[in-house]
Amino acid sequence: MLAGPPGESPMAPCPVLQRESLFQSGAHAYRIPALLYLARQKTLLAFAEKRASKKDEHAELIVLRRGDYDAAAHRVQVSEHHQLQTGVNMVRLCHVTSTDHGRTWSPASDITSSAIGPAHKEWATFAVGPGHCLQLHNQTRSLVVPAYAYRNLPHLHAPSPAAFCFLSHDHGCTWQRGNFVAQDSLECQVAEVGPRGHRVVYLNARSSHGARVQALSANAGLDFQGAQEARKLPEPPRGCHGSVVAFPGPSCSAQWLLYTHPTDPQRRRNLGVYLNTRPPEPAAWSQPALLATGSCAYSDLQSMGRGPDGSAQFGCLYEAGDYAEIVFLLFTLKQAFPAQVPAPGASHLLATLPSPGLGAHGGAEDFSVSPEASSGSPH
């Protein structure tokens, strides 16, 4: 169901397979969602920052909830603001790894010097993502981690942001820094688009100029060309993070793109999903279908194969209720854009999740997703 014109009351959100709150603010706040789908294990990993308050500098832990999809049964003490005021970069780039599908994690390794080098001292601050990264379908199965940095440029009075990517061609053993995309591009995500053998990396970035910025890379995210505004993807004042994923189109020879973001151009409100059937063409973005009404902000998408109605299925983790909770949605392409996909099946999906409270140490808590027959109405 499509959103109405800006300024008008939104229409009702489209049906979804599941709608459930995974993280709820109380004694702590939860922000910055990230979602990872492990296709072979049919497992979803939902991450968020656990904070003493909504402020960035009050982040304490990265917390995780794990969900198993049964297809057969169908922390930072110096704020970003302070670093931008002083021009002194206090952020370190670290990574952790898991060899058991997210159940346990290694100690953090600081890779700032090797991945960034002397440029780290030239930046006021930087961050990765937010959200998921990308593994390419090239020979080395390269990892592409979207990021952005505020640079202290001599001709400017204040640090200036620009998006870029970190790259690994050896499964995360070593990392290199890519080149900057465009000035005034911020938080970003990447996807791989194009026909097999000719795929490129598509980057979609937050901007404070009223519309998203997109660019393409033909060398695995090292360099991006053709940075341009995507006017059909509006931004609220100062912008907001959004999420993009690629998935096989009906012909399976090329990829389509799906993108989630607040639809209201004046404030962070009314979460919408946009479809591009001719990526990377910026004019090919559809009008948004509403996923949820009311306050919303950051989101993260994952493609999850085929849904019970035969169309592409997606998971979305997003901030809702003026950052009071982080909600998980499960929906299909058919539900959001019924005109794009015929309806071959009559079965739908129900999911039951326990109360989303976290353990005292912020450990992982399981949830389950399983398909059953249903009326297809929102849950």
Q: What is the pLDDT of residues 40-94, one digit of tens each?
A: 988 999 999 999 999 888 989 999 998 887 665 443 346 788 888 888 899 999 9
Per the domain annotation, does 13 fall within a domain? Answer: no
Structurally, the chain folds into a number of domains equal to 1
Q: Answer whether residue 251 shows pLDDT above 80.
A: no
CATH number, domain containing residue 225:
2.120.10.10
Give pTM, 2 decimals. 0.86
Q: What is the pLDDT of residues 97-141, one digit of tens each?
A: 999 999 999 999 999 999 999 999 999 999 999 999 999 999 999
Per the domain annotation, does 67 fall within a domain? Answer: yes
Q: Residue 166 in contact with residue 147, Cβ under 8 Å?
A: yes
Instruction: Output the pLDDT for position 12.
Output: 87
Continuous segment of H or E residues that includes residue 13: none
Per the domain annotation, does 219 fall within a domain? Answer: yes
Closest CA to 347 of 356, 334, 336: 334
SS3 content of the chain, % helix, strand, coil (to 5): 10, 45, 45
Q: Residue 137 in contact with residue 192, Cβ under 8 Å?
A: yes
Per the domain annotation, does 3 fall within a domain? Answer: no
Q: Which domain holds residue 325?
A: 18-372
Per the domain annotation, does 75 fall within a domain? Answer: yes
Per the domain annotation, does 377 fall within a domain? Answer: no
Q: What residues act catalytically?
A: 56, 298, 319
How confident is the model over 229-248, as a mean pLDDT? 97
Q: Mean pLDDT score of the chain, rounded to an integer?
A: 87
Instruction: Output the pLDDT for position 2.
Output: 57
Instruction: Output the pLDDT for position 196.
Output: 82
Closest CA to 327 of 258, 265, 271, 245: 271
Q: Answer whether residue 345 shows pLDDT above 60.
A: no
Per the domain annotation, does 301 fall within a domain? Answer: yes
Q: What is the pLDDT of residues 180-212, one digit of tens each?
A: 999 999 999 999 999 888 899 999 999 999 999
Closest CA to 95 of 148, 174, 21: 174
Per the domain annotation, does 47 fall within a domain? Answer: yes
Distance of CA 152 to CAs 83, 89, 160, 162, Å? 11, 10, 7, 11
